[in-house]
Amino acid sequence: MIELLEVSGESCANCFSLMPILHRLAAAKNIPLRHLELTEGTRAEAEKYQIDRVPTVLVLKDGEPVARCTGFQPEEILSLWLNAKIEEARAK
């Protein structure tokens, strides 16, 4: 199963700007989107995915990361990136 994981921080303006874009893209591609807010309680999961900055978007296949994008990206760029990475993940 392929899904998107968006990792953000509580006071990250770029993270807030990215969320509606990701929701639109995930819905258009019929891909589940999960949000992970960095807190003390989510530290283990963030370490599992080697998150070192926010925002970070991961393409997961069967729970394992197959692609990563960090920082804010415009919708057009993010859409192109997601299309390519989702296609690659499905081909594996």
- Domains of the chain: total: 1
- Please say if the pLDDT value at position 19 is more than 90: yes
- Cβ-based neighbours of 18, under 8 Å, separated by 6 or more: 6, 8, 55, 57, 72, 73
Q: Report cis status (omega within 30 of 0) of the bond before 65.
A: no
Q: How many residues does the chain have?
A: 92
CA distance 65 to 59: 6
pTM of this structure:
0.93
What CATH number does the domain containing 13 carry? Answer: 3.40.30.10
Across 11-30, average pLDDT? 95
- Cβ-based neighbours of 29, under 8 Å, separated by 6 or more: 82, 83, 86
Q: Which domain holds residue 15?
A: 2-91
